Chain A
Amino acid sequence: MIFWDRGLAPSQSRTAALRFHTARAGSFTLRQGDQPRADAHLPSPLPRGGWWATRACPLCLALLAFLLAILPASAGQLDRAALESHFPPPLVVGEKDGALPVWPILKQQAGAYEVFAYAFESVDLAPIPGFGGTPPDLLIALAPDGTFRDVKVIAHREPVFLEGLGSEPLFAFVEQYAGLSAKQAIRVGRPNARAAGAPPQTTVDGISMATASTRVINQSILASALVVARGKLGFGAANVGLSVQAKPGLYEPLGLPDLLARGWVKRLTVTNAQAAVAFKGSGVAESGEGAADAVLTDLYVAYLNVPTIGRNLLGQARFDALMRELGPDNHAVMVLSTGPADAPENPVGERFVLGAVPDRLAVSQSGLIVGARDMAVERRDAGLAEGLPPGNWSILRIDQAAGFDPSAPWVLAETIVRERGQILSEKIARTFPVETALPADLFTRAKPDDGPSWTDPWRARAPELAAIGLMLAILVPVLARQRGLVAHRRAFAAFRLAFLALTLGFVGWSAQAQLSIVTLVGLVRAATTTHDLAFLLYDPPSLVLWAFALATLLVWGRGTFCGWLCPFGALQEFVALLARPLRIRQVTVPAGLDRALRQLKYGVLAGILGAAAAGSPLADSLSEVEPFKTAITLSFVRSGPFVAYAAGLLVLNLFVYKGFCRYLCPLGASLALVGRLRVLDWIPRRAECGSPCQLCKVRCRYGAIAPSGRIDYPECFQCMDCVTIIHDPAQCVPQVVDRKRKRRSAPHPMAVT
């Protein structure tokens, strides 16, 4: 971009505005090489124990009321001066539009102004909440023809970019939009999708580990551009997602002359005289040889998908083969050159490259170029033997994503290039268009409703969703049937390890479905400011797990999620396996301290949700108390302090088993709170539990069993150890004693087991 400095180099003064605004939104990592400051992100020292837990809520409410009063509503933040820094002279920032929050960017030409672009902030027109619950704010410049001049990030609160990946990948992501047309549906592909052959005019490369965020950004860009296109440019991007298909059953045997007569096949003939008129005044008008009425090019143009056109021109077999190769919803246009084959003007002559985007032929509709590529279908003997005149052809493929509507008039333009001058020759080009307008009743139109594309991630992630569903379908009966697998100590231990391996490897690292407090922060922000829960729909695996976790909360308590489906929990469990070979002994936390530390997590939760409710970006920083993003989402690929923190928690776990889960985890705290609604006291108890027997209490690695034998369900991780014990007559002490007593009183000796 010549006109639009990205403004990120720290030495340039015009970066100040951008940096200021971004910093205000909570991003600290703007410049490449900037390391996040640990003090800004790591959890602040938290008040200790019970006091905080009991007093936190009124305190938070007061804080919330105060912050709500002083915070501005979410809206665009750039003023004229900021716009001018983004669009420096010779561009002129025009007066803000009267109806839409749009700034015309003008350039002066020959004493008059021309519109260079319309600039606007996405948050003003399409405030779509991001993954963190706050809409990203993008500065978008849309040219009058509907092309993105550029897209820049003004502010965002996407957790994955705020910390971890840093904002650089996001800046690079939005750069891809420059040059794309807002008239087409642009989709976020996989990373390197473009290089892998995805259509570059309708695909941007995604960012791994940031799928949900990039989709929200994409939605923000397209939705806000659509509003401006409708309001200022006079097109509604009506063709986005449009599917117009030729009715396959409609066939009428017709010859080429009939098709030409109906206007279904068009002919574009350029004679010497016509070329001379077009090139008049350019100095190369007379360079065509021969008579004035000599034909330079003679093209037949046909939209092949309509059977009455394609089948008649190609014959049944070739037509069927072509339609198979083309695939549904895509379009084929034939350009047959019957003029002099060796003429330099012939667009499919010697210099034509098979399979390329032709440089001398262009399809356009409503003034916009439609991407069309040669299909590399060679003519040889194909085509209606008696009807189609001889000559080379190009069959052009138009991708469905191009938004081409064959039922509306479209233009094929041939470009003729002539050179002026012998040594330093100058190329002069003129185009010769021919329009095709086919009757609308040859087509079926299917226009998907304009709803957001949240269904896409569900469709795309169906296999993952199915696998997660299968996992849950296996887990529920295993946990429910206590006399089944649970009662078999060894088999159940193996099952548990296998399941946790899946939770960590598949649910966590592969499907990226680690539930997180960030979602709750988003919910709180939705409830207080944005009033939009749509962001949840963009991450289907997480939503499924949330639904499952909530359902099991009401039946079994927090343990089902915390003990079985939390990838970081699983990771801790695997790390803890090392304790024995490393001869590390668990540290016994004194009972009083243990009780106080357990309350700490509620304080953390209150702090985070309070900050979120107050609209404070502090919520994002506080959420970093969770090591989930570092350990699971980003697989430890993150800056030093974060990795050290997550690793530290794992080491702590060797000494204080799942210390993070029990003392710090705000997500666990929230689940434990809701888990109080649990309906089942599902862990079987005996009269002897607690008095005199303390086996389960001692064996419980979570300290969730009181000396009295009572189960502290909010602290239970549903590991089933105590359930296994109680169903194992060889382990459950009261049963063992009972049996011994019976044996003593029995007259017949029994086999000793």
Chain B
Amino acid sequence: MTLRNLKRPARRRVVLGVAGLAAAAGLGGIAAFRAAAASRGLAIRTRAGVAFGTTVALTAAGRDPATIEAALTDGFAAMHAVEAAASLFRTDSALAQLNREGSLAAPDPHLVALLRFALTLAAETDGAFDPTVQPLWPVWSSAAARSARPAADALRAAIDRVGWRRVRLEPDRILLVPGTALTLNALIQGYAADRVMAALRGRGIADAFVDTGEFGAVGAHPDGAPWRLGLADPRDPGRLADVIAPFTGFAATSGDYNMSFSDDRVDHHIFDPSTGHSPGGLSAVTVTAPTGLLADGLSTACMVLGRDRGAQLVAAHAGCAVRFTDKV
């Protein structure tokens, strides 16, 4: 389960999203792309921002710059709507309210969509993926502030409050068993990529690259080259471990490096709901899928399930692929 540090923007993996950027890093290179794109009559715009506690960037291409700008504005509006529904970085989100009050009437549709998917995946993975691991977070983060690991009894008390069956999703209401707290941080960025892509499509954008913390791409770069997604080496974020090219659809990565409680990265922000500790075995998992939500959920589940059971899970979903990086 991905739990990102509540406030501090997580350390970003290095992703070289725009085609060919690795080869021509630098302003001159970008100018060259612009020229190539312009010669095909296409404009390209990028807009960056901060959402989900990290930086995000949307890139879209098209014939009419005004349409692109409008599409990017819609894209950010979609992201803000998802944040308002389910971000734990915002104390005024619907999810934060649900955690505070234990129930929520007439919940935000985004929250319902995320939670429905989370509970389905929890059932499918027999609880390896679980949106109710939030009570583990304060136990670990406060221990980490003391450079220690949590006391066994504190951890046990937190695990007793974890369990996806403690959530009731009714048509018009969400109910939590007292003591339960939800996190959808493992899904929200992938889901946001879906929403942003839909918003861009609504403006007729056919070529776009979306970075909401997870990634989505459609079409190609206006210079004609396919979009490429670079995957950073989890142990050396400056180095590329792999490149997905051409990249279309959605990709999500879960890893032990984004937010670690210990220098050796044994303890990090992904918890095995059954033990309350971080799963060993894998350092990072990248899943490509037809939707960002699926990619994000599967990648987190794979971290907990491990290589073999994770591969089985992904194989059961059409159009999905997975890359594992073993822990070193």
Residues of A at the B interface (CB closer than 8 Å) are 92, 94-99, 104, 106, 108, 110-115, 144, 232-235, 409, 435, 437
Contacts and interface: CB of A to CB of B under 8 A. Distances in A.
15 contacts: A94-B50, A95-B76, A98-B51, A98-B79, A99-B83, A104-B49, A114-B12, A115-B9, A115-B50, A144-B9, A232-B7, A234-B6, A235-B7, A435-B147, A437-B146
Nearest to B230: A111
Interface in B1-27: 6-9, 12-17, 21-22, 25
Given A95-B49, A97-B50, A234 B7 contact: yes
B48 A95 contact: yes
A110 B92 CA distance: 33
B207 to A, nearest CB: 19
A722 B239 CA distance: 95
Contacts of A234: 6-8
A110 B12 CA distance: 11
Contacts of A114: 12, 55
Contact of B238 (A96, A110, A233): A110
B15 A111 contact: yes
Contacts of B51: 98
B47 interface: yes
B323 interface: no
A111 B30 CA distance: 12
A235 B5 CA distance: 13
B20 to A, nearest CB: 12
Nearest to B18: A111
B80 interface: yes
Contacts of A437: 146
B321 interface: no
Given A94-B48, A115-B50, A233 B14 contact: no
A190 to B, nearest CB: 37
Nearest to A104: B50
A232 B9 CA distance: 9
B316 interface: no
Contacts of A233: 7-8
A241 B14 CA distance: 40
B145 interface: yes
A112 B8 contact: no
Nearest to A90: B27
A80 to B, nearest CB: 10
Nearest to A93: B48
B57 interface: yes
Contact of A98 (B17, B48, B84): B84
B69 to A, nearest CB: 10
A96 B79 CA distance: 12
Nearest to B51: A98
Interface size, B (range): 20 to 34
B6 A95 contact: no
Interface string B79-112: 1100110000010100000000000000000000
Interface in B30-59: 47-51, 55-57
A110 B232 CA distance: 11
A46 B7 CA distance: 59
Given A95-B49, A98-B84, A234-B8, A112 B147 contact: no
Contacts of A144: 8-9
A96 B47 CA distance: 11
Given A95-B76, A234-B8, A113 B57 contact: yes
Contacts of A96: 49
Contacts of B72: 95
Contacts, number: 75
Lowest 4 CB-CB distances: which A-B pairs, in order?
A234-B7, A98-B80, A95-B49, A113-B55
Interface centre among B17, B21, B84, B145 (most CB of A within 10 A): B145
Interface of B: 6-9, 12-17, 21-22, 25, 47-51, 55-57, 72, 76, 79-80, 83-84, 90, 92, 145-147, 230, 238
Contact of B49 (A94, A110, A111, A235): A94
A231 B238 CA distance: 30
Contact of A111 (B17, B47, B145): B17
A92 B48 contact: yes
A96 B230 CA distance: 28
Contact of B16 (A97, A106, A111, A115): A111
Nearest to A95: B49
B48 to A, nearest CB: 5
A129 to B, nearest CB: 27
A92 B55 CA distance: 12
B83 A98 contact: yes
A94 B79 CA distance: 14
Interface centre among A92, A96, A113 (most CB of B within 10 A): A113
Contacts of B56: 113
A482 B72 CA distance: 80
Given A98-B80, A99-B90, A233-B7, 15 more contacts: A94-B55, A95-B47, A99-B80, A99-B92, A111-B15, A111-B16, A111-B230, A112-B12, A112-B13, A112-B15, A113-B57, A232-B50, A234-B7, A234-B8, A409-B145
B212 to A, nearest CB: 12
B146 A112 contact: no
Contact of A104 (B21, B55, B80): B55
Contacts of B12: 112-114
Contacts of A99: 80, 83-84, 90, 92
A409 B146 CA distance: 7
Contact of B48 (A106, A110, A235): A106
B30 to A, nearest CB: 10
Interface centre among A98, A234, A437 (most CB of B within 10 A): A98
A114 B147 CA distance: 27
A694 to B, nearest CB: 76
Nearest to B81: A98
A528 B227 CA distance: 56
A280 to B, nearest CB: 14
A658 B79 CA distance: 67
Contacts of B80: 98-99
Contacts of A235: 7
Contacts of B146: 409, 435, 437
A106 B7 contact: no
Nearest to A100: B90
Contacts of A232: 7, 50
B325 to A, nearest CB: 19
A111 B92 contact: no
B120 to A, nearest CB: 28
B328 to A, nearest CB: 16
B145 A113 contact: no
A111 B21 contact: yes
Contacts of B7: 232-235
A437 to B, nearest CB: 6
Contacts of A108: 48
B55 A106 contact: yes
Contacts of B55: 94, 104, 106, 112-115
Contacts of A97: 49-50
A42 to B, nearest CB: 47
A106 B48 CA distance: 8
A111 B47 CA distance: 14
Contacts of B83: 98-99
A622 to B, nearest CB: 43
B150 to A, nearest CB: 15
A114 B13 CA distance: 11
A99 B12 CA distance: 22
A95 B77 CA distance: 10
B251 to A, nearest CB: 15
A234 B15 CA distance: 26
A106 B9 CA distance: 13
Contacts of B47: 94-95
A110 B14 contact: yes
Nearest to B76: A95
A99 B47 CA distance: 18
